[in-house]
Structure 1
Amino acid sequence: MPKQNMQNGLNKANQAAQAQNTATEFASETNVAEVRRQNQQSAQKSGQQAGQATE
């Protein structure tokens, strides 16, 4: 019986670790998308400012 309990505990720990990894991967992908969006906005603003300066 104790061996079975230990196996159940390991399975639950493994499932929790997999869930954490999935959440971390999702957060990373979300952060990449957000950083790209901010970079594009920054580039647009820089382009607009450069255009205004040369007019």
Structure 2
Amino acid sequence: MKQQNQASKTNAQKVRQQNQASAQGFNQEFASETDAQEVRQQNQASAQKKNQQQ
């Protein structure tokens, strides 16, 4: 019967910290692969093209 109580031994705070650390690692990896200046230039070119068509 005592084995059913195993779930209650989960440290919720520790799990949250691990999830947060994992999410930060993912965000950093994604950000490092994104050239913000290039994206801005593409957005600006797209906006100019859209304005020319109107």
Bin of the TM-score, shorter chain as denominator length: 0.3 to 0.5
Give the TM-score taking structure 1 as reference length.
0.46
Give the TM-score taking structure 2 as reference length.
0.47
